[in-house]
Structure 1
């Protein structure tokens, strides 16, 4: 694969920013917006409760204004498809005093409970009752600041409590907060809207509540997951790919791993070039971790690369307990992969002694052969495409709606770089 593509805006940032815009009745504008299935779902969810949304697909600009809330009920048709509906509770409680949302769904990568969210909201004064598949939330006296200690630095719980705290009375302290680049980007938007947010040492996030927020404009950072997927494709196919708008800082842990494996890349002011080699890369041991560690969403594409590496590689997954389910399909393609419940690493792991298959050993290099692949979730789906690109023969990949939820026109970008991909629409 050779050539140049421009990265889209961050999928993990845009949906939270759209929801954050509902904190004000003023219009907000987002630029560098990725056109994704998850964004479409979020737009429908916001429109259902009163937001007016305009998406310009040509220049990737989204304008949103929620002048008034028409309905504080989140539809199960949209809200039940992923966990984003829980993010609406804070804005709805601030503006209506009530919120009703369905129990959320999402990717099949193991349990992803929202108890951190609910416990934090309750500490801020929310009353939450579960009934008939819905959470009924109320805050008759309004929400107030609190000191919330997260048991684990959950990204979405941090974002949810951060959004909610901006208009809560008093000061909110989130201890053991996540600090991912997408959270920093959300903070930038909130600050433009008038929020007072301060990062302290030791993963402490301090938010001073304000009475009102106003509209703002913001340009999203680039998607670091898309960057890793396309960079991995370059190495798998021994190609040379330039990713315009790839940013060094959000990719530091990934780039360090490439350096340890002797893989080449070149950074300039406009992007990063990833340069494949005729030799197989060496095996490596790596562990996923919260930012600034090696991101869990990078684990799946990197596993494909390790099937083509020399020797035995080890991956220790510390974020999700059941994120290696996709490897059974790779074994059918010829990969030599073993899963283990033991912690094969040094990062403190909450799954120790719990018998979850959260460590993976990959032996390589192994030639892969094309086959039928059924996608279980977004990142595994992209990895299946990468495996198919370096496999001999043709592969058929089903369930591409998962990919379209999280990647903007991935098939087009891969074709632009030389991949032979045909999208078939079922009649």
Structure 2
């Protein structure tokens, strides 16, 4: 069994999937109402932040996804006591934080990249941290150099070993001036989690400013941190001597909401996404409308449907917030296979994020990936090293196929394609999808999808 299959099986098992393969009979619109809750990209980081407090933290609207279970396991092997008194609520008590053995960390981490964010909090609490080799979705190298360079600037000593990285801070972490080469979300989170208890002031330039980053800053401020967000992507963090626990309700998952919106568009369905927030989805909603999608914003969510019978092609450039999220493009590409004309998606964030299109072409799509990217006279996002572009010509009739899920967002895109296609598709490695989509199997049933578990 290769590592991808093992990762998928383990992820699915964490959330109780009966099988890692489903059989989908497509061609039926998805119609109904589903709910999105706490964002994967906030909840897991908020759990790590609890390590910084001297008292317990309470996190609400925690999604039941495998990435949350990975972080829970990592916290527990480090001595954090975690209880869940109600659905979607965690109480995290860090009063007995301790070092963990490499084997325990490695066993719980699996292919997750979350352990890198434990470095700062553990250096503050224990004076050392260890992280195993990092995995994650297979969408590019996603190097951790930004993280390690920031930690070094703050006084950490990094020792790269055969089985991972050992970090120490002989003189404690100190405030520093840090400028990121790219507004990386992970590196920004690293600096925030590492600097709030550091001695002195940290100035972080070219920081990420995604909604999930702002929500993490709100959590840290509740804990007693002093964090100021300035214009032009600059964040100042004044280190404090101690932090307390927090009580916080996680921001809702805008990436999951956009995925279900694309599913409605591709299948000619009508889906109300409870918890979808207009403000966090504005850039997506503009593109959704240009393609021919309709949406009705209500107090408790957004209804998504196809407003135009014939979908229109668009040109999309992924970018950091407030641009078009890279996590949004993969599900949208499936809908663009049904648009009349030629669409272009410029992927400027991750260099290998179009691998999922191979399966779409096998299903009848007409997608050509340009691995060196494409120039454009009207580009808004500057050309970046390793960017790629996908040219999607449609409309094309999708037909059933046997598909192996490659990564989280690509996997959900394959689900959408199978639901759009005529015939019976076999989708394997679906456990990977549970890393970021809460209860996606029951949600598909609520929306009237026709499928069964294989085996």
Which TM-score bucket, shorter chain as reference? over 0.9
User: What corresponds to 1:41 in structure 2?
Assistant: 70
Separation of aligned partners in 1, 2:267 and 2:245: 45
Shift of 1:78: 2.1
Shift of 1:420: 1.2
Separation of aligned partners in 2, 1:164 and 1:423: 44
SS at match of 2:288: helix
Structure 2, unaligned runs of 5 or more: 1-29
8 Å contact from structure 2 (residues 292, 310) kept in 1: no
SS at match of 2:48: helix
1:60 aligns with 2:88: yes
Shift of 1:278: 6.0
Separation of aligned partners in 1, 2:101 and 2:310: 54
SS at match of 1:422: strand
User: What corresponds to 2:60 in structure 1?
Assistant: 31
1:248 aligns with 2:270: no
User: What corresponds to 2:416 in structure 1?
Assistant: 386
8 Å contact from structure 1 (residues 315, 344) kept in 2: no
1:318 aligns with 2:348: yes
Runs of 4+ residues deviating >3 angstroms: none
8 Å contact from structure 1 (residues 280, 365) kept in 2: no
User: What corresponds to 2:315 in structure 1?
Assistant: 285
1:302 aligns with 2:336: no
**Cα distance, 1:278–1:419 mapped onto 2, change above 3 Å:** farther
Separation of aligned partners in 1, 2:245 and 2:373: 49
Shift of 1:280: 2.3
Query: Could you report, residue by residue, the CA deviation over 1:12-63 in whole angstroms, capped at 9, with x for unpaired residues?
Result: 111101001000131101111100100101100111111111235x521111
User: What corresponds to 2:99 in structure 1?
Assistant: 71
User: What corresponds to 1:348 in structure 2?
Assistant: 382
1:10 aligns with 2:39: yes
TM-score, structure 1 normalization: 0.96
Structure 1, unaligned runs of 5 or more: none
Shift of 1:133: 2.0
Shift of 1:73: 4.6
**Range with greater deviation from structure 2 (369-378 or 79-88):** 79-88
1:399 aligns with 2:429: yes
Separation of aligned partners in 2, 1:359 and 1:277: 27
SS at match of 1:421: strand
SS at match of 1:283: coil
Separation of aligned partners in 1, 2:270 and 2:131: 47
Shift of 1:238: 1.6
User: What corresponds to 1:22 in structure 2?
Assistant: 51
Shift of 1:260: 2.1
8 Å contact from structure 2 (residues 53, 244) kept in 1: yes
User: What corresponds to 2:17 in structure 1?
Assistant: none
TM-score, structure 2 normalization: 0.90
User: What corresponds to 2:148 in structure 1?
Assistant: 118
Shift of 1:308: 0.4
In the alignment of these two chains, the number of paired residues is 420
Shift of 1:273: 0.9
Shift of 1:80: 4.6
Shift of 1:186: 0.7
Aligned-residue CA RMSD (Å): 1.3
**Range with greater deviation from structure 2 (275-284 or 31-40):** 275-284
8 Å contact from structure 2 (residues 79, 96) kept in 1: yes
**Range with greater deviation from structure 2 (105-114 or 257-266):** 257-266
SS at match of 2:416: helix
Query: Could you report, residue by residue, the CA deviation over 1:352-406 in whole angstroms, capped at 9, with x for unpaired residues?
Result: xx5x6x1000000000011111011000000000001100011111001110111
